[in-house]
Amino acid sequence: MSEYFSNIKTGASTIATGMAITLKHFFNAVKRKGDAGIDDADYFKQVDGLCTLQYPREAVPTPAIGRYRLHMDAEDCIGCSQCERACPVECITIETIKVTADDLAACGKTSGGQQKRFWLPVFDIDVAKCMTCGICVSVCPTDCLVHTPVADFSEFDVSNMLYHFGNLTKIEADAKRRKLEEEKAAKEKAAAEAAARGEAPARPAPKPKPAPGPQPDGGKAGE
Amino acid sequence: MPAAVQQSKAAYDIIRERFGEAVSECDANPTMPFFEVADTSKWADIALFMRDDSRLKFNYMACLSGVDYMEQGQLGIVCNLESIGGPTHKIAVKVKCARDGGSIPSVSCVWHTANWHEREAYDMYGMTFEGHPDHRRILCPEDWTGFPLRKDYQVQETYHGIKVPY
Amino acid sequence: MQELGKADLNSTRIIPQGDNRVVIEKDLDTEYMVLSMGPQHPSTHGVLRLECITDGEVVVEAEPYLGYLHRCFEKYCEKVDYPGIVPYTDRMDYLAGINNEMAFCITVEKLLDIEIPRRVEFIRVITAELNRIASHLVAIGTYGIDLGAFTPFLFCFRDREHILNLLEWISGARMLYNYVWIGGLSYDVPADFKKRVDEFVTYFKPKVVELYQLLTTNEIFVKRTKGIGIMPADVAINYGWSGPMLRGSGVDWDLRRNDPYSVYPELDFKVALPDPKFCEIGDSLARHLVRAIEIDESLKIIEQCLDKMPEVDGFDPRAAIPKKIRPKAGEVYGRAENPRGELGFYIQSDGKSTKPLRCKARSSCFVNLSAMKDLSKGQLIPDLVAIIGSIDIVLGEVDR
Amino acid sequence: MGLLDARISNRNVLVTSVDNVMNWARLSSLWPMGFGLACCAIEMMATNASNYDLERFGIFPRSSPRQSDLMIVAGTVTMKMAEKVVTLYEQMPEPRYVLSMGSCSNCGGPYWNHGYHVLKGVDRVIPVDVYVPGCPPRPEALIGGLLKIQELVRMEGIGVSRQEALKKLAEKSVDPQQVIGQARKATA
């Protein structure tokens, strides 16, 4: 019998303790919690009070290194394709066209002063696939690929999430490609003519050692 | 030789003494000392001995992983064993079988851990475990074709009318 | 529940067997009923399906069906290079991302045989313990929901949000961090981090007490969990249990102490064991208590790490990361103590490729859950929920 | 009926005010199905919990598909789960909405190329209204997605189908590329 009553007593008292805690918080919840971010010195001074964020009207600031929407700055991209290779998800697709010598000035330099050597007809990021791991950003040599702290960008159509960052239109890309081919053909023709004249191929030193190597190679390409 | 590897070697010596040629030489590498069971049919006996012998007391199976040795044409399992509350040694055991239609004795009655892990190994690689109490697929659906973790696995085109590849 | 035996029905007798298990004796035979629970069920913590064969209210056998979240982790390990696997390990036990990354990274580092800077080790331990607290808070909060207590859930998630903010501040992501890299970290911690973590510990300590009063001592909660799902120690070891589950059964086993890694040997903490005064050893309440104690222990570890962490000017956490991660040929089994138990990785490398030949994840939840059939025998259906909650499964890790 | 149809499509005062009331009622009590699959489910729980509190929008998770009008597919849908998702979707009463949360349910996400057992996008089995990107999406992003659903509900009405509402919304929407371009110019 005493066990029965003691059970009731513990039950009532433990529930009353819980209720007291809830009540304390109820009276505590008269003021709003501030919206300082974690990098603010007084973040933990403002934790008491109503903790709910009224999101569309207020939000906690995301940190500067926050990894959400992927963004590429085509001005700074040198087309090295390292991000494409590093991405575990393979959500980046890059196509490059080599810049012809006379176009180097038109292609321009990165903000770091590095000469760009590739046109970028295609630089597609499928942010629907992206898992925001940040590996692509860590390998980018020019810091042109960044995760922005923008998180809220939902869509009605999933195909809108394929972002195109290339800096050429399709027609421009075709023109550049043709130009490169023409230049290449001209070079090869010159090389073939030089070879036919029996001179050493006017090629700078990438394959110096195998002497018979370049000749059949050049000949074939010439045909 | 680090102390941990020496302990494993000592434990191996006890097993070798009991089973002789049924177990292969011990590979005392520093990252994961292991030995191989040469006579696959003895595996269940070895397992029981390893668990119950008072000097060994391998009462805890940490992991059982299936492996595909494609070049040798074999499938295998790797078991990481150790003792909780007993000696502080640990050792890994490898058991192999033929790639097509091979089978390995089940040790799920020795360590309950092995029950689901063997089912998983069957699900992923397709070797059978003799004497397993519940020999079914565990992660993939029952009517899935192929064994996904085999090196030559080709994914099926459709599953119940749903396209599988991207 | 013992009172059930007294209810003398005409043809059916429910006889208590101790451990809150019951046996039904009948004069007339009844048919078993199959009750399918899940994969969409609020108390299965994800997409677990249990096929319960029931005799009235009593579970005769509950067979778990897995694979509803099988995401081919091991296939990905063979297709993606080592640094690329790290974000996938996050997605296994998604409540404790940093712990998973750490387990994977120390395994690969063991194979690579490289030295890690001391500061990196301390940051890893601090973040891992913070994440352990966050994970236990979810475990406790959702356990409360399962048993009908909604308020602790709100309290837990409010405090968890602070941890997520801290971790987002240093890593850039809220839940799946990709913070611990093989041989280092992705970023050094900000200058104020130590101070802020210290503030968090001071803030959080009274909240733990509050949570304890709110849930753990609550009589309704105790009545629902005490003596439910008892697992004896030797059976638990045979089932391969680890972590809070094994400690709940009274086995003094913690990988942080028994197979030490990182800087844990230098730290002073005690292995959480349940107190037989409050619970029966091995029951659901014991497992819950272990988690509650572990939160305290983690706070202690964090405090010590903050004191001992060396300050290095211009520290580059990526300095020790090898340019190309290509381990020598060999095999390794590495593991770490996760919030849910032992997370191990078996990695086989052929020495030529930058991808593992085979990488198997030994997941703690998968092993812990395999005892479900045994645990649920002879329990009542409402107690089944208490048992699943106390196992604290994360389906991402069960199915991988 | 023909007359009535014509009247309805003409959008007279009566119809529009009924529309407004109905849409207001529907969009301020969107009950999603508490249907967690993977990582995103934890963020969904965090959104439901104290810090973001979805009940501000009248959104409260229901455990049964029969009581819910919104399905939040939060996480990876696998082949084994796909049929169950379809069953759950079919059990929901009309009008029903589907919000695909996170990369995995949008298009397979991180598991799109080698994931033999992962359904590459939940829109292969059920129609999806709003896609929320992120892996996992922040609670803010989920709330943003839910606001988009509310926007869609507001556009619908008697005699206005979902497709027409979507078309109208598409006309109103802005191209993300332009927004990005403007942002880029502003920073430059």
- pLDDT number for residue C133: 92
Write the residue in C246, C333, C370 that is nearest to B92 by C-beta: C333
- Which residue in C186, C197, C204, C224 has the most chain A C-beta atoms within 10 A of its own C-beta, making it the best mutation to test that interface? C186
Contact across the interface for C251 and B84, Cβ inside 8 Å? yes
- pLDDT number for residue D11: 62
What's the rounded mean pLDDT across residues C262-270? Answer: 88
Tell whether the model's pLDDT for residue C299 goes beyond 70. yes
More confident: C85 or C41: C85
pLDDT in tens, chain B (166 residues): 688 888 888 888 888 888 888 888 888 888 888 888 888 888 888 888 888 888 888 888 888 988 988 888 888 899 988 888 878 888 889 998 888 888 889 888 888 888 899 999 998 888 888 888 888 888 888 888 888 888 888 888 888 888 888 7
Tell whether the model's pLDDT for residue D174 goes beyond 70. no
Contacts of A10 in chain C (CB under 8 A): 219
- pLDDT number for residue C6: 44
CB distance from B26 to chain C under 8 Å? Answer: no
Q: How many residues does chain A have?
A: 223
Q: How many residues does chain D have?
A: 188
- In 10 A of CB C322, how many CB atoms? 15
| C374 membership: H or E segment, kind and range | helix C372-375
What band does C258 get if pLDDT is binned at 50, 70 and 90?
A: confident
Subunits with 3+ C-beta pairs closer than 8 A to B: C, D
Is the omega angle on the peptide bond into residue D95 within 30 degrees of 0, that is, cis?
yes
Tell whether the model's pLDDT for residue A214 goes beyond 70. no
- DSSP string covering D126-165, please? S--SEEE-SSSPPHHHHHHHHHHHHHHHHH-BTTB-HHHH
- pLDDT number for residue D186: 64
Q: Which two tokens stand for residue A59?
A: 């939000």
Contacts of D110 in chain C (CB under 8 A): 87-88, 91
Q: Which two tokens stand for residue D176?
A: 């993300």
- pLDDT number for residue B12: 86
Write the residue in D53, D140, D147 that is nearest to A151 by C-beta: D140
The DSSP letter of residue B40 is G
- What distance in Å separates the CA atoms of residue A202 and residue A194, rounded to the nearest whole number? 7
Contacts of C89 in chain D (CB under 8 A): none
Contact across the interface for D113 and B141, Cβ inside 8 Å? no
Q: Which two tokens stand for residue A179?
A: 């130009």
- Which residue in B139, B143, B152, B164 has the most chain D C-beta atoms within 10 A of its own C-beta, making it the best mutation to test that interface? B164
What band does A199 get if pLDDT is binned at 50, 70 and 90?
A: low
Contacts of B59 in chain C (CB under 8 A): 234, 237-238
Maximum Cα–Cα distance across chain D: 60
CB distance from A132 to chain C under 8 Å? Answer: yes
Q: What is the CA radius of gyration of chain C?
A: 22
Taking only the tens place, the pLDDT of each residue in D93-128 is: 888 889 998 888 888 888 888 888 888 888 888 989
Residues in contact with C113: Cβ distance below 8 Å, sequence separation at least 6, in sequence order: none
User: For A102, what's the count of Cα atoms within 13 Å in the CB-facing half-sphere?
Assistant: 5
What string of H, E and C letters represents the secondary structure of C220-262? HHHHHHCCCCCCCHHHHHHCCCCCHHHHHCCCCCCHHHHCCCC
Contact B8, B28 (CB under 8 A): yes
- pLDDT number for residue A69: 85
Distance, C-alpha B157 to centroid of its chain: 31
The nearest CA of chain D is from the CA of C191 a distance in Å of: 25
The nearest CA of chain A is from the CA of D143 a distance in Å of: 8
Contact across the interface for A129 and D110, Cβ inside 8 Å? yes
Q: Which two tokens stand for residue A153?
A: 């960008």
Residues in contact with A221: Cβ distance below 8 Å, sequence separation at least 6, in sequence order: A188, A192
Write the residue in A59, A62, A73 that is nearest to D184 by C-beta: A73
CB distance from A161 to chain D under 8 Å? Answer: yes
What's the rounded mean pLDDT across residues C167-188? Answer: 87
Question: A150-153 contacts: CB < 8 A, separation 24 or more?
Answer: A150/A68, A150/A69, A151/A62, A151/A66, A151/A68, A151/A69, A151/D134, A151/D137, A151/D138, A151/D140, A151/D141, A152/D138, A152/D140, A152/D141, A152/D143, A152/D144, A153/A69, A153/D133, A153/D141, A153/D144, A153/D176
Taking only the tens place, the pLDDT of each residue in D142-168 is: 888 888 888 888 888 777 777 887 887
